[in-house]
């Protein structure tokens, strides 16, 4: 049992090592809000947990301004001095205060789960029922001209990454295939994951698939080829495609996961905490994917290792997770905090301390 006593926020801006460019947006800096939620137990001991919210105008609709306003003006006045028995109870309470605004709701959820894990004296993955194991991630190649893409790939592969997620949609299908073919010729042991970010029609997607198959390109899946709102066209595409289709922006919650897996035969879902709005909802999405004998990718926005630590914990907790796309912390020019999750070549290594393993001084130093 906890009684929430305070919420504090810190804003950060960190330059990225290289611009992150998708069909939806360009990002030169990582920006976000780190939240510290304090709560006391029935014995009077105060614990503080940490979470993160990042803006994403084209996906969640959240901005830095809206995140701060939701937490300070809506959540904090309502939640302080409230008593809760479980993190899931907090998630339900916050969702009852405001819909949408998933990034702000998630930050509160993460911080509260961190608190309960600290009270239990368990690392966050073990508190969730998993194990604290290193996780290997892929790395994303942004939309760029061919020469720049090859140059970026050289750097990424030299660091040990064995799977490349390739952002497409900024060029013709023929040119996109040519870029991937050249990457495949250069790195014959690398697998590719294609992310169109809603850039294509059914016809364009089928053109890409047919050309990729002809060239025998090692593609694991194609992610979110169609615009949100065109899910009714998915079934015909999924049935025809010999490359698996994954949904991302179409799925924010377990109801949508159920609907599209039931109606369209899609069996791959990209689960992102910033879309789900809480750890509890993310777990429900994983369960839905499991119910359909599907598989999940655990993905992310451009988040620091604070938010990514929760995603790593979920990867270590859910057997449906086949793919890991948690490369964002590797893109930062420097680590936002010195403790907690560690980065080692291609691995994300969880802290063995309770909760996230992040100290108060680290939050103060942001």
pLDDT digits (tens, 9 = 90+) for 48-80: 999 999 999 999 999 999 999 999 999 999 999
Residue 361 included in any domain:
no
Same domain, 89 and 174: no
The helix/strand/coil state of 295 is strand
Whose structure tokens read 């870029």?
179
Q: CA nearest 223: which of 292, 275, 277, 297? A: 297
CATH of the domain at 56: 3.30.390.10
Same domain, 221 and 303: yes
CATH of the domain at 214: 3.20.20.120
Domain of 327 in residue numbering reads as 135-356
Residue where a domain stops, chosen among 78, 94, 123: 123
Residue where a domain stops, chosen among 123, 151, 170: 123
**Which pLDDT value is given to residue 298?**
98
Same domain, 71 and 191: no
CA–CA gap between residue 215 and residue 146 (Å, rounded): 18
Same domain, 103 and 196: no
Q: CA nearest 324: which of 290, 351, 291, 300? A: 300
Q: What is the mean pLDDT of the chain?
A: 97
Same domain, 71 and 156: no
Same domain, 197 and 328: yes
Q: CA nearest 134: which of 334, 324, 287, 332? A: 324
Residue 79 included in any domain:
yes
Same domain, 73 and 154: no
Q: CA nearest 75: which of 102, 56, 47, 94? A: 94
Residue where a domain stops, chosen among 69, 98, 123: 123
Residue 365 included in any domain:
no
Residue 128 included in any domain:
no
CA–CA gap between residue 240 and residue 335 (Å, rounded): 44
Q: CA nearest 127: which of 86, 171, 97? A: 86
* Number of structural domains the chain divides into: 2
The helix/strand/coil state of 54 is coil
**Which pLDDT value is given to residue 245?**
98
Residue 43 included in any domain:
yes
**Which pLDDT value is given to residue 99?**
95
pLDDT digits (tens, 9 = 90+) for 342-356: 999 999 999 999 999
Residue 264 included in any domain:
yes
Residue 244 included in any domain:
yes
In the structure, what pLDDT confidence band is assigned to residue 208 with cuts at 50, 70 and 90?
very high
Same domain, 165 and 50: no
Same domain, 211 and 159: yes
Residue 81 included in any domain:
yes
In the structure, what pLDDT confidence band is assigned to residue 309 with cuts at 50, 70 and 90?
very high
**DSSP tag of 41:** E
**Which pLDDT value is given to residue 269?**
98
The helix/strand/coil state of 344 is strand
**Which pLDDT value is given to residue 115?**
98
pLDDT digits (tens, 9 = 90+) for 253-308: 999 999 999 999 999 999 999 999 999 999 999 999 999 999 999 999 999 999 99
Same domain, 222 and 242: yes
Same domain, 78 and 164: no
**Which pLDDT value is given to residue 365?**
97
Same domain, 205 and 286: yes
């Amino acid at each position: 049992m906890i009684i929430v006593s305070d919420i504090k926020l810190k804003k950060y801006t960190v330059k990225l090592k290289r611009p992150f460019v998708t069909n939806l947006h360009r990002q030169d800096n990582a920006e976000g809000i780190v939240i510290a939620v304090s709560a006391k137990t029935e014995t009077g001991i105060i614990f503080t947990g940490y979470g993160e919210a990042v803006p994403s105008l084209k996906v969640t609709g959240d901005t830095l301004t809206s995140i701060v306003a939701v937490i300070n003006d809506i959540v904090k006045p309502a939640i302080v001095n409230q008593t809760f028995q479980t993190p899931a109870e907090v998630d339900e309470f916050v969702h009852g205060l405001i819909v949408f605004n998933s990034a702000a709701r998630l930050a509160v959820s993460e911080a509260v789960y961190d608190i309960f894990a600290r009270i239990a004296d368990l690392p966050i993955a073990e508190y969730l029922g998993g194990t604290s194991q290193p996780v290997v991630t892929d790395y994303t190649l942004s939309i760029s001209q061919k020469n720049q893409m090859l140059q970026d790939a050289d750097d990424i592969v030299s660091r040990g990454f064995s799977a490349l997620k390739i952002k497409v949609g900024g060029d013709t299908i023929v040119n996109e295939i040519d870029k991937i073919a050249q990457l495949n010729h250069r790195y014959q042991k690398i697998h590719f994951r294609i992310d169109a970010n809603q850039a294509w029609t059914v016809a364009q997607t089928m053109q890409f698939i047919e050309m990729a198959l002809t060239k025998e390109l090692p593609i694991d899946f194609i992610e979110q080829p169609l615009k949100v709102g065109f899910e009714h066209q998915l079934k015909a595409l999924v049935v025809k495609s010999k490359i698996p289709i994954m949904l991302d922006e179409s799925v924010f919650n377990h109801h949508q996961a159920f609907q599209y897996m039931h109606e369209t035969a899609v069996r791959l879902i990209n689960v992102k905490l910033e879309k789900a709005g809480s750890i509890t909802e993310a777990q429900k999405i994983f369960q839905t994917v499991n119910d359909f004998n599907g598989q999940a990718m655990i993905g992310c926005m451009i988040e620091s290792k604070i938010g990514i630590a929760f995603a790593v914990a979920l990867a270590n907790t859910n057997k449906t997770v086949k793919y890991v796309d948690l490369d964002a912390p590797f893109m930062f020019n420097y680590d936002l905090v010195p403790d907690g999750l560690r980065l080692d070549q291609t691995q994300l290594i969880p802290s063995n301390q309770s909760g996230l393993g992040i100290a108060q001084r680290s939050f103060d130093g942001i």
